[in-house]
Amino acid sequence: MSRWEGLDEFVAVAEHASFMRAAEQLRVSSSHVSRQVARLEERLQARLLYRTTRRVSLTEAGHTFLARCQRLIEERDEAFHAISDLHAAPTGLLRMTAAVAYGERFIVPLVNTFMAQHPQLRVEIELSNRTLDLVQEGYDLAIRLGRLSESRLVATRIAPRAMYLCAAPAYLERYGRPHTLSELARHNCLVGTSDTWILQVDGREQPFKPSGNWRCNSGHAVLDAALRGFGLCQLPDYYVQEPLRRGELVSLLEANQPPNTAVWAVYPQRRYPLPKVRLLIQALRDGLAMRPEYRTDANDSDPHRASDRPCTAEPAPRAHVENSVADALRTPERPGDSIRRTTCRFW
């Protein structure tokens, strides 16, 4: 006799508080369920259920045994699913989300290629710069950039991500090049989605509050403004790598560039990821590795190649960070003070 016998029947009765409903769930007769539970109690030499003509309830031993049995059954079923899923083709609906600009440029084309290979799969992609709640809003997967904060989620690195402080040669020729962090306060800064730039001094992170006459929540717009010589910017490698290579931008304070983070595939926590999620994550990782922005074998002499930097997962930054650069160094007469403040929003 298998020691598993009676466990499924007992758990079903306990969860439904009914032999009849347990039998319906298991698609067997009520007498079979009753017989299996009775045999289980006999083997355990303990009563697990109180039975009356009107109701079924757990004994103290039943409560203790139920919790253990539920975990055992869950792990047993997931073990079988894990093996069968290795050879299963992805089917059904997969809901995912990604940041707008990165999603349009990198993720959606790779998902489309994946869809062509797996026509039985249906995909819904939400491109949004909001951090969506995957569990509450029913998403299977999110592609997130930089630092992570949710402990309820599982994250796997699919690509490196490095931040660069840059400016156009025309701006530097006119206003000079900053050589220290303290000199940043005298320059016009192009502010994007983050109000805090993270830099590094002697291996420690150094926050800096950028200030200037231009702000926009679009990385492409920040890049365009930087290329036009409006000021300094801090952007991820996939925005600035080509302009740096062509000499349209110049990398600044390279010794103070922040530690690398990553591009992450994030999904709700479960013992085994859904096969469609697992396969798509691998396809995204492989596809991004083939992009010129992430190729480690392309332009080995390029000092700005993002993949040269080690990628580490960082904790989420504090919500409020003080500017570490002395405010006394700020002067009211900075480049661009005479230019009208520009603000744009992309929805």
Global pTM value: 0.60
Task: Name the token pair of 149.
Answer: 């904060």
Report DSSP state, residue 189. Answer: B
**Phi, psi dihedrals of residue 58, rounded to the nearest 5°:** -85, 140
Identify the pLDDT of residue 70: 87
Task: Name the token pair of 106.
Answer: 């990198």
92-161+262-290 to CATH, choices 3.40.190.10, 3.50.50.60, 3.30.360.10, 2.40.10.120: 3.40.190.10
Task: Find the mean pLDDT for residues 169-182.
Answer: 95
pLDDT tens digits, 90-99: 888 899 999 9
Is 300's pLDDT higher than 70? no
Per DSSP bridges, beta strands 92-98 and 56-58 are unpaired
Task: Find the mean pLDDT for residues 282-309.
Answer: 62
The C-alpha atoms of residue 325 and residue 327 are separated, in whole angstroms, by 6
At residue 149's C-alpha, the angle toward residues 145 and 155, to 5°, is: 60
- Tokens 């490698």 correspond to what residue? 237
In this structure, are residues 148 and 161 in contact, taking their beta carbons and an 8 Å threshold?
no
The C-alpha atoms of residue 40 and residue 55 are separated, in whole angstroms, by 20
Please give the class, per CATH, of domain 7-85: mainly alpha
Give me the residue spans of the domains in the chain.
7-85, 92-161+262-290, 163-259+320-344
**pLDDT tier for residue 329 given thresholds of 50, 70 and 90:** very low
pLDDT tens digits, 330-343: 333 444 443 333 33
Is 126's pLDDT higher than 90? yes
CATH topology of domain 163-259+320-344: D-Maltodextrin-Binding Protein; domain 2 (3.40.190)
Identify the pLDDT of residue 77: 78
CA distances from 312 to 33, 269, 338 (A): 53, 21, 41
Nearest to 263 by CA among 107, 158, 155: 158
